[in-house]
Amino acid sequence: MTELSHAAAAIAVDRAGHELRRGRPVLLTMEAGDSVLVLAAETLTEAMLAQAMRLAGGALVLTASRAAVLHIGPTGDDTILLPLADLPAPDTEKATLIRDLADASRDLAAPLRGPFTRIKAAAPDSARLAVKLAKTAYLLPAAIHVPLARGAAMPDNLLTVTAEAVAAYDLAEAETLVPVSQARLPVADAENARLYAFRPADGRQEHFALVIGDPDPTKPVLVRLHSECFTGDLLGSLRCDCGEQLRGAIRTINEAGGGILLYLAQEGRGIGLVNKLRAYQLQDQGFDTVDANQRIGFDADERWFLPAARMLQGLGFGTVRLLTNNPEKVKGLEACGITVAERVPHKFPSNAHNEAYLAAKRKRSGHYL
């Protein structure tokens, strides 16, 4: 895709995400000329569902991990479709059931009773893209998917997004990152620092680079990739080690003579703050951090590191010493064209509130803790 088409794709998908967050449908057009009406399960209303059910063939799309929690048999696909007509609830109560099927927070308190009928045929690409649209909007990863007959009457002012744009969204957002502002920013533990802001073409949240000292681009630079954590970084949450990692990284980089801390807009390992709070609810019920994410329907880690790579390259750095305990960050950054010359350990003591969280990161995600 060209720079212009990358920007167009990013903007189109962002607009579609905002429509889904408002509870409005969007029209997903496929390359073969077919169209699908998409609604987010989380924001579904009875009125919108009734409108969708007047069209034939509608289904609820869940991720395979969420379906497994509901004891719905696997199909081998990463998405599972449940026909709307077969959901075990009266039409006037189906929207409530759908929201409950998508939301794991009440699973233990009010277990959902099946059996739930699934479509056994292979899931179409449009189903996967419908879930991806919900994810890009930081909503629960579940969607209403209604294939449309050619010439079917549609709601007024329906926003349209192409399958190509949705499929290319992650790449498009990373490839359109541009520096928009910078300033000298003395911070605690690193008075000689500058903060650079990078913005994608869709105008969503900026990523930031804190350049400490004057690192030499001809040598491997000490770098920390830090995903934003509102609860840990700002509120001082004891449930994670993010705040300690952030401040410790600044201190370590400064003591090493300079380097870069990338502050990435990837809250909750890419699922967003609201969904992270949902995961916390599940952790309070006894699930570890990996199981909690998967029970909601997400992957254990939804991040990718092309934005970080493009920021480093934009600053003139291609080889790094990566300050991390996460082997996936090393692999992910290298896959995006950055050479990782060394992994530098970066860990802190646990406390009574995050012991289980850190143990799960070590045992389930392979972190060096």
The residues annotated as belonging to the active site are 301, 303
186 CB-contact burial (10 Å; exposed 0-12 / middle 13-18 / buried 19+): exposed
Dist. CA 210–CA 184, nearest whole Å = 10
Q: Edge-to-edge strand order for the sheet containing 142-148?
A: 79-83, 59-63, 142-148, 35-40, 26-29, 159-162
Look up residue 121 and give its DSSP letter. S
Long-range pairs, 4-8, Cβ under 8 A, ≥24: 5/172, 6/168, 6/171, 6/172, 6/175, 6/176, 6/201, 7/172, 7/176, 7/201, 7/202, 8/165
Residue 209's contacts (CB-CB under 8 Å, 6 or more residues apart) are 195, 196, 198, 260, 261, 262, 263, 311, 315
Position 122, amino acid = A
Q: Which residues pair with 199 in a beta bridge?
A: 178
Q: How many residues does the chain have?
A: 369
**Cα-based distances in Å from 188 to 146, 215, 252:** 53, 19, 12
Please answer whether residues 214 and 204 qualify as being in contact, where contact means their C-beta atoms are separated by less than 8 angstroms: no
